[in-house]
Each structure stands twice: as C-alpha cells, then as structure tokens.
C-alpha cells in the first residue's frame, strides 16, 4: 500500500446527508487524514433520483460508489444511516475494511424501543431532533441555496433516499450478519440520541457512550468523537 | 337521454367507528397512531350489525350497488378487510357490490385476484372493484415502503390482470413479485374481468394509469372543480390509449341527505358532515405524504394545494365538495347538475356519514330511494 494511502479513510454520512465535513472529521484531516466521501445520488436533493426497489439494489449502488473512489481497502467510518452501510460493507466484503468505526449506526432495531420516527416529525422540526446541542449551520438550512420553491422538493428527495433505506424502523437485518465483521470495530453512541436508543449499542457488542450528544454525535461532540476515532485508527 | 335519468346510485358506507372519547377532539390525527385502546369491540359489534342492516336496507330499496372501502389504523372505517364484508353481503343482496377497494400493495396480487374472483363468482357476476394506491396514511400502517408504492402498484395490476384474463399456469417475473405457477382458481365470472376503477386523489400519474389500463377513474379528496378538469384529461387519455370512453368510466362521490324541508335537512345533516371532515378525516400532512409516496410533480402540487383532511367549515365544504341537503326536489336538481357537468352515470352516494344515528340514515336513505331517484329517472329535460 502506498504511504499516502495509509492515512486515507472512507466516510459514510448519516440520515440528514452530507452538507460538509463534520468538525470531528476535520480534526482528523488536520492530523493528515484524507477523508474520502463517495458520491451517491439522492441524498443531495438533486432531481432525477429514483430510489432502488430493494435493499440489495441499494447496496449495489453504494458498492459501486465506494469502488469508484479507489480508496478501499481502508478504514471506514459510518454515521447513522452510513453506519449501517459501513457495517454491511465490513460484513459482506470484509477484505475491503481494515477498521470500522460506527457512530450511532442504523441497521439493528428490534422495535422494542423504536425511538423517534423522524419521518413523522414535521419537516421544519426534524433537524432539531438529530442534535442535542443545537442544529449546526450546515444543517439548519440544508437546501436553502436551492431557493424557496425548490428547497422543499430537495428535502423530499433526500427523505425518499434515506426512507427507502430506513423505512420503517431502520432494521435491515444487520444483526444476522454482524458475526462476519472481523476487522477492529469501534461503536460510539450519544446518550441523547432520540432516533436510536443508546441501549442498542449492546446489540453491536458494546462501545462508548458520550454524554450530552444526540444522534449525529460527530457534530454534537466533535472533540470526544475525534479522540475516540484517533485512538481506534491509531491502534489499527 | 340525459346522464341524470340513466344515473346509477351506489350506496357508499364507510362503516365508521364512532363514540370516540372526548379527548379525540384534541388529537392532531385520528389515523395511523391514534391508540386502538380507544376501540371497544363490543361497541364495534353493535355498529357492524347496524351498518350491515343499513346496507341491506339500501339493497332492498333498489339502490344499484353497495360500496365498501378499505383503510387501516383509523376510526374512519371499520373495514380494513372489505372483502369479508362483501362476502357477508352477497348472499343477502341482489344489487351490485363494489369493493372500492383493497390497495393491491397491501396484498399479494395473486391473492387479491383470487379474492375478487371468489366474490365475483359467489355473487353471480355482481362485483365491481377499484384499485387504490392507498392513502399515504396506509403506508405507515402496512409493511410496504412508500418509496416503492407506485412501481409496486403497477406491477400488482399486471399480475391481477394476468390472473383474470389469461389461462394458467403461467410464470411472471417482476421486480416485486415472481411466480413460477400463476394459476389461480377461481377465475371471475364477468369477462374479461369485473368492471374496475382506479381511485386517485388527482395525481396525473394515477389518472394516466387508469387511462392506460382502460379502467374507470374515481377521484377523492380534491375540490370538485379540479375533479372536472382531471376527468376531462382522463377521457382524453383514455381515448388516446384506444379505450372506449363509457358514461360510467368516471365515478363521482356525492354527500346527500333528504328531509321534509331544506332547513330540516340541513339541520339534520350538517353536524355529521362536519364530523366526517373535522374528526373522521383528521390527520396531518406528514401522514398524508410519507417519503416517496407521491412523485416529485405531485409533491409540488400538494404542497401548494388546499388540504381537505381535518379542517373545514360548512360553506367552504359545500364549495369544494358535492354536498346537498334538502327536499327531494332540491337534492334531485343538484344531482342532475353534478352528473351532467361530470358527464357520468355512476354516482357513489354517501348518506350514512360520520356519527349519523341510524334513524337519520334510514330516513334519508328511504326518501332518497323513493323520492329522489324516481325524480331523476323521469327527467326528460336536463337542467342547464
């Protein structure tokens, strides 16, 4: 592996998309890490997106996008929805993931404590439920640049993309495949996560819980998340 | 001949669950997540018996058909499985039976084709069916991702038509359903299949689907003026696809109540109409439009359109819906105008509405059958 690829990682974004690199990952960039974010249609709110019919079709879309980056095999960090995809990648294509970091991943939810149904929350209020410490500017007006008429449409398309993967509980049977993950794994949760109750971390084999952080904890607790990622990436 | 004197009246009953606790008035939505602990099965039993009796009365009075619908997780209707109700009605009736209808997305399509074929055979060919996509609310209640709704719907229709119109066994390979042996018994008695409609809420995609398949088209929950425009477009598209534009292809819904005077009719009807729109239909926009349920063009239309679920006043309701309460003459006049402007002979008639007591249902149903329908059918001159 070339030396420059020793400090490259793939990042898979969460339920609200990827408006910009999170503060936690910017800290890793400052350490010299290259953050590779695959391009997947739908989450950007651009028109023309048609959600794949089946989960396998969705995984194929992600696999194609990941392969197109040329970054794999490497460490993979997945948050929220992206955590589910990252876990699937590590389980189904284990040779492609050298270490796995999951930040409040979807993928396992028994339904006993389903958490907040984000799609049943009025659109204008949704972002507030993803963060415990206020909505970051990047998410506050996620599609505002598209203008008053097009912003709701972009939000709708982005919702279709995430909902077609997560509807209705965000459980895609990852629990049945988790035993196939053989790379080092870090799981981190925020204790203020409204979407996925922190107790779910035990279903992933345990991990670190950060006090005061919500679902998108890399934004709520950038220093703590960056420290955990540094330690995990450095050790592996 | 006018449309009015050939009009068929299909008696539509929602089978509502009534007697909700007082705090229902404060709930944002009485669909999807309104707790079913508020449902009393014993009260439900009494209501089923009453509603079945009301349907049998309509049949006895000579209505052309009886209409059932399907919804889930709601007090709006106690018919989440209307084929069961239809099966119970069939041996006791002689009119047509309309199941308007089970959303194909919530059944395996071969099974739905089988159930409808059963009803058609059991009834001796009296079945009419409608295929709704299902309201947005149904997708919160069923294990189907709304993002797949429209593609799945079309494929389901293909399976159902194949079941009904082609001899089996045959195979079918789709994106959602795959069959090695598609060979359902029984097949429908009506050929090539029972008369079928598609129920929509005005989206161009649903209208186009009805036209493409040559199905009838029924539209709900959009203002009357908009319905008329959609009907015109539907007829154009129906002809474009090479189908005959029959007078019963379009179905209109009418809310009607008949009494001795206009004032008495309005006084007796209005509270139940208001209950229907304010309470029974009450839900929130976010349940109406789950992600992916509507296409982007339809989403654009909906975010700028009036919402008819859960808020209204009497006058505005009458402006955008076909609602009439009055003497037989007044009701007949209004209906004559509506069927003429819609150019249809098929009416789904709603008398039993909301929390209306049995005595009013019996009274208005009887007056409608005995005083309104004969007036319409004896008309030779169509009102302008």
Q: Residue B296 — very low, low, confident or very high, per pLDDT cuts 50/70/90? A: confident
- pLDDT of amino acid A236: 76
Distance, CA of B46 to CA of B40 (rounded, Å): 10
Residue among B20, B42, B72, B54 at smallest CA distance from B350 = B54
Distance, CA of B293 to CA of B139 (rounded, Å): 8
- pLDDT of amino acid B384: 45
**What's the rounded mean pLDDT across residues A12-26?**
96
* A66-75, A88-97, A104-113, range with the lowest pLDDT: A104-113
**What's the rounded mean pLDDT across residues A198-209?**
97
Helix (H) or strand (E) holding A103: strand A97-103
Question: Between helices B262-275 and B358-367, what is the axis angle to 10°?
Answer: 130
Q: Residue A3 — very low, low, confident or very high, per pLDDT cuts 50/70/90? A: low
Q: Residue B201 — very low, low, confident or very high, per pLDDT cuts 50/70/90? A: confident
DSSP A50-93: ---SSHHHHHHHHHHHHHHHT--SEEEEEETHHHHHHHHHHHHS
Of A51, A120, A123, the CB nearest to B147: A51
pLDDT at residue A220 greater than cutoff 60? yes
**Residue A63 CA neighbour count, 13 Å, CB half:** 14
Determine, for residues A164 and B145 on separate chains, whether the beta-carbon distance falls below 8 Å. Answer: yes
- With an 8 Å Cβ cutoff, is B174 touching chain A? no
CB atoms within 10 A of CB B318: 18
- Contact predicate B287/B136, CB 8 Å: yes
* A68-72, A76-80, A121-125, B205-209, range with the lowest pLDDT: A121-125
Distance, CA of A103 to CA of A182 (rounded, Å): 18
Q: Which two tokens stand for residue B323?
A: 């609602």
Residue among B196, B194, B188, B192 at smallest CA distance from B121 = B188
Which has more confidence, A14 or B311? A14
- Contact predicate A12/A82, CB 8 Å: yes
Q: Residue A1 — very low, low, confident or very high, per pLDDT cuts 50/70/90? A: very low
Which has more confidence, B305 or A145? A145
Interface confidence (ipTM) of the complex: 0.88
Of A51, A119, A121, the CB nearest to B290: A119
pLDDT at residue B96 greater than cutoff 80? yes
Residue among A142, A150, A162 at smallest CA distance from A47 = A150
CA A217 to chain centre: 10
Burial tier of A145 (Cβ tally within 10 Å: 0-12, 13-18, 19+):
exposed
Determine, for residues B147 and A163 on separate chains, whether the beta-carbon distance falls below 8 Å. Answer: yes
User: In a mutagenesis test of the B interface, which of A49, A163, A169, A170 is the best target, namely the one with the most B β-carbons within 10 Å?
Assistant: A163
Residue among B197, B120, B123, B184 at smallest CA distance from B157 = B197
**What's the rounded mean pLDDT across residues A74-99?**
98
Instruction: Tell me the residue length of chain B.
Output: 384
Q: How far is CA A144 from CA A121, A147, A148, A149, A155, in A?
A: 19, 6, 7, 10, 10
- pLDDT of amino acid A227: 98
Determine, for residues A153 and B300 on separate chains, whether the beta-carbon distance falls below 8 Å. Answer: yes
Distance, CA of B103 to CA of B84 (rounded, Å): 15
Question: What pairing do the DSSP bridges indicate for beta strands B127-132 and B96-100?
Answer: parallel
- List pLDDT tens digits, range B107-153: 999 999 999 999 999 999 999 999 999 999 999 999 999 999 999 99
- B45 three-class SS: helix
- pLDDT of amino acid B1: 74
Per-chain mean pLDDT for chain B: 94
Alpha helices in B32-172 (DSSP H): 41-60, 82-89, 109-122, 136-141, 149-165
- With an 8 Å Cβ cutoff, is B140 touching chain A? yes
- pLDDT of amino acid A69: 97
Q: Residue B310 — very low, low, confident or very high, per pLDDT cuts 50/70/90? A: low
- pLDDT of amino acid B380: 57
Backbone dihedral region for residue B299 (phi beyond 0: left; psi -120 to 50: alpha; all else: beta) = alpha
Alpha helices in B241-288 (DSSP H): 262-275, 285-288
Residue among B287, B258, B101 at smallest CA distance from B194 = B101
pLDDT at residue B306 greater than cutoff 60? no
Q: Which two tokens stand for residue B34?
A: 């309104």
- With an 8 Å Cβ cutoff, is B290 touching chain A? yes
* A40-54, B75-89, B238-252, range with the lowest pLDDT: A40-54
Regarding pTM above 0.90, the answer is yes
**Residue A171 CA neighbour count, 13 Å, CB half:** 18
pLDDT at residue B235 greater than cutoff 90? yes
Per-chain mean pLDDT for chain A: 94
- pLDDT of amino acid B202: 81
Q: How far is CA A213 from CA A188, A233, B35, in A?
A: 10, 21, 31
- pLDDT of amino acid B307: 52
CA distance A159 to chain B (A): 6
Determine, for residues A160 and B151 on separate chains, whether the beta-carbon distance falls below 8 Å. Answer: no
Contacts of A167 in chain B (CB under 8 A): 145-147, 290-291
Residue in chain A closest to B288 (alpha carbons) equals A120
pLDDT at residue B101 greater than cutoff 50? yes
CA distance B27 to chain A (A): 15
**What's the rounded mean pLDDT across residues B296-313?**
70
């Amino acid at each position: 592996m070339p030396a420059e690829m020793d400090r490259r990682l793939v990042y898979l974004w969460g339920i609200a998309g990827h408006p910009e690199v999170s503060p936690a990952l910017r800290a890793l960039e400052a350490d010299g890490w290259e953050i590779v974010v695959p391009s997947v249609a739908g989450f950007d709110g651009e028109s023309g997106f048609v959600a794949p019919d089946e989960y396998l079709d969705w995984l194929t879309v992600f696999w194609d996008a990941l392969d197109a980056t040329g970054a794999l095999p490497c460490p993979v960090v997945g948050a929220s929805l992206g955590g589910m995809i990252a876990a699937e990648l590590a389980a189904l294509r284990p040779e492609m993931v050298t270490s796995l970091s999951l930040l409040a991943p979807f993928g396992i939810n028994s339904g006993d404590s389903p958490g907040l149904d984000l799609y049943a929350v009025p659109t204008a209020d949704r972002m507030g439920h993803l963060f415990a410490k206020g909505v970051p500017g990047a998410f506050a007006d996620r599609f505002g640049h598209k203008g008053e008429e097009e912003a709701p449409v972009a939000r709708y398309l982005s919702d279709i993309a995430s909902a077609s993967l997560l509807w209705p509980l965000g459980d895609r049977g990852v629990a049945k495949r988790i035993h196939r993950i053989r790379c080092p794994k870090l799981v981190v949760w925020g204790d203020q996560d409204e979407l996925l109750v922190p107790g779910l971390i035990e279903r992933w084999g345990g991990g670190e819980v950060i006090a005061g952080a919500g679902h998108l904890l890399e934004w709520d607790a950038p220093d703590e998340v960056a420290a955990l990622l540094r330690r995990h990436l450095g050790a592996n | 001949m006018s449309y009015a004197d050939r009009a068929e009246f299909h008696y539509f009953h929602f089978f509502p669950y009534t007697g909700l606790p007082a705090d229902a008035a404060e709930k944002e939505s009485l669909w999807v997540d309104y707790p079913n602990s508020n449902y009393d099965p014993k009260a439900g039993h009494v209501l089923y018996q009453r509603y079945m009796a009301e349907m049998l009365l309509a049949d006895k009075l000579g209505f052309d058909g009886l209409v059932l619908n399907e919804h889930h997780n709601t007090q709006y209707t106690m018919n989440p499985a209307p084929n069961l109700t239809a099966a119970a009605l069939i041996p006791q009736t002689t009119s047509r039976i309309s199941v308007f209808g089970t959303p194909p997305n919530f059944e395996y399509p071969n099974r739905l084709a089988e159930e409808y074929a059963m009803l058609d055979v059991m009834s001796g060919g009296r079945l009419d069916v409608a295929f709704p996509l299902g309201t947005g609310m149904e997708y919160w209640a069923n294990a189907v991702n709304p993002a797949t709704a429209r593609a799945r719907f079309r494929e389901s229709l293909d399976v159902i038509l194949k079941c009904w119109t082609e001899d089996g066994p045959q195979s079918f390979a789709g994106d959602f359903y795959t069959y090695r042996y598609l060979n359902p018994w029984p097949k429908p008695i009506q050929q090539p299949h029972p008369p079928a409609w598609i129920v929509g809420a005005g989206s161009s995609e649903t209208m186009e689907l009805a036209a493409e398949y040559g199905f009838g088209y029924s539209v709900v929950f959009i203002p009357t003026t908009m319905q008329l425009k959609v009907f015109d477009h539907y007829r154009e598209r129906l002809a474009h696809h090479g189908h005959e534009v029959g007078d019963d292809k379009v179905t209109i819904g009418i809310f009607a109540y008949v009494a001795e005077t206009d004032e008495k009719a309005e006084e007796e009807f209005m509270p139940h109409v208001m209950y229907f729109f304010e309470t029974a239909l009450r839900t929130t926009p976010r349940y109406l439009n789950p992600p992916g349920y509507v296409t982007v063009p339809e989403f654009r239309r909906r975010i700028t359109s009036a919402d008819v679920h859960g808020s209204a006043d009497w006058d505005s309701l009458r402006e955008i819906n076909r609602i009439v309460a009055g003497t037989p003459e007044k009701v007949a006049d209004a209906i004559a105008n509506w069927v003429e402007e819609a150019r249809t002979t098929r009416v789904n008639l709603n008398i039993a509405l909301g929390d209306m007591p049995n005595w009013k249902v019996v009274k208005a149903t009887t007056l409608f059958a005995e005083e309104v329908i004969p007036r319409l059918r004896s008309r030779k001159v169509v009102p302008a």
